[in-house]
Amino acid sequence: MNFDSESGSPQVLLAGDIPCGVEEATSVLSSTNDSDLNATMKGLYWKEFIYGSVVHMVSPEPFAPDPP
C-alpha cells in the first residue's frame, strides 16, 4: 500500500482477471478517466465492483512484427 503524499490517503494497485469479451475489455482498457472506468466496471460487475482509478496512461505504439 502506498500513501498519496498530497492527500495522505492510501492508494492500492490490484491486478486480476477480467472475464469478459474483447469489446468489454477494450472499453475498460481505453478508459482515459476515472468516470469512464468506473461506469464500465460497474456495468460489468454491478455490486462486486467498488471503485477504480486511472493511474497511468501510455500512448500505444504501432505494432511491428518481429524481423525474420
At position 11, the amino acid (one-letter code) is Q
Whether 13 is covered by a domain: the verdict is: no
Model confidence pLDDT, tens digit, residues 12-22: 566 777 777 87
Residue 33: inside a domain, yes or no?
Answer: yes
- Count of structural domains, the chain: 1
What pLDDT does 9 receive? 62
Please report the pLDDT score of residue 28 as a whole number.
Answer: 72
Residue 63 is assigned to a structural domain of this protein: no
The single-letter DSSP state of residue 56 is: -
Of 4, 54, 59, 2, whose CA–CA distance to 32 is shortest? 54
Q: Which amino acid is at 18?
A: I
Closest CA to 29 of 60, 65, 2: 60
In-domain check, residue 36: yes
Asked if the structure places residue 25 within a domain, the reply is yes
Q: What is the pLDDT of residue 2?
A: 46
Please check whether residue 61 lies inside any domain of the structure.
no
Q: Give 27-67 pLDDT, tens digit per residue.
A: 777 788 889 888 988 888 888 888 888 877 666 666 667 77
Q: Which residues span the domain enclosing 45?
A: 20-51
